[in-house]
Amino acid sequence: MIKHTLFFGSPAYLSTKNEQLAVNFPEGSKDEVTIPIEDLGYVVLENQQITITNGLLMKLVQNKTAVITCDQQHLPNGFLQPLVGHTEQTERMRHQLNASLPLKKQLWQQTVMAKIENQGNHLLQRGKKALKLKRWAKEVKSGDGDNHEAYAAAYYFQHLFDVEGFSRNQKGVAPNNLLNYGYAILRAITARALCSSGLLPSVGIFHRNKYNAFCLADDIMEPYRPYVDMLVYDIVETGCPLEELNTNLKKELLGIPAMDVIIDGKQSPLMNAMSRTTNSLYECFEGGSRKLLYPEL
């Protein structure tokens, strides 16, 4: 089942009514709206004047709905996750924490190979050359000690967008703003799936930063980034203004969880594919498998 994404960019009062999410607007400007909580995968709270009840937060967490808050620049900056995401959480976390260094290096090798392969396929779909990426994807070694991931990313973004002055930089010219927003949504999707698989999003296989609470999410989302790039590329091609991240652009980017991807030879919504990826990661930690399941673009 595809879970829905709700975006709140205007002042609103959010509560529960008859086990549903109830939305009321200031001074009765609009009629009350109710939405079944079980249908929700993500709730994005952008406006600074949104009021939400603790009862609603509790039910959203119980439903494993990702509640995403935004900062004053309207970019996602917070993610509410459940304390218990899986019935076997303690056992699963133990396997994760006990994972050997050689296993982590092998998992990162698979992750980088899948990312570069997807980047190469995306360039090819756009009629651009990708021979270097295809070669680098096959040359990645355990742990990616030669840093193919960074070289591939630099080459990829140099050739992807036909936008004057563009380089991949969080504070750079558009469409960097769209990429930032899309990657933030993707990060929340990944963290939600990791929690549902009983894993710790903060303990990575490659990323290590004591100030980063989502190191593992940053690892696992890497091969999925080209899907965000693909959506942003399509937006750029429309010729619409990109400097301001308006509601219409955000609406497009909030469709990322429902994007169709191919994983294990079958079509699946991205959010469901991510759950398959995180479950395969646990199987690797547990010892039942040595292969991470990633989508193929």
Residue ranges for the known binding site for Mn(2+) are 149, 207, 222
Q: How far apart are CA 149 and CA 272, in angstroms?
A: 25
Which residues make Cβ contacts (< 8 Å) with residue 170, sequence separation at least 6? 176, 180
Closest residue by Cα to residue 97 from 205, 196, 192, 195: 205
CA distance to 39, 92, 99, 194, per residue, from 86 (Å)? 19, 9, 19, 10
Distance CA 23, CA 35 (A): 8
Side-chain half-sphere exposure of 242, counting CA atoms within 13 A: 21
Going 233 to 235 to 241 to 246, the CA torsion angle's sign is: negative
Q: Which residue has the tokens 């756009």?
A: 126
Binding-site residue set: 149, 207, 222
Closest CA to 248 of 256, 258, 240: 240
In angstroms, the CA 21 to CA 56 distance is 7
d(CA 221, CA 292): 12
Q: Which helix (H) or strand (E) holds 22?
A: strand 20-24
Q: Which residue has the tokens 């004591």?
A: 210
Specify the 3-state DSSP secondary structure of 114. helix
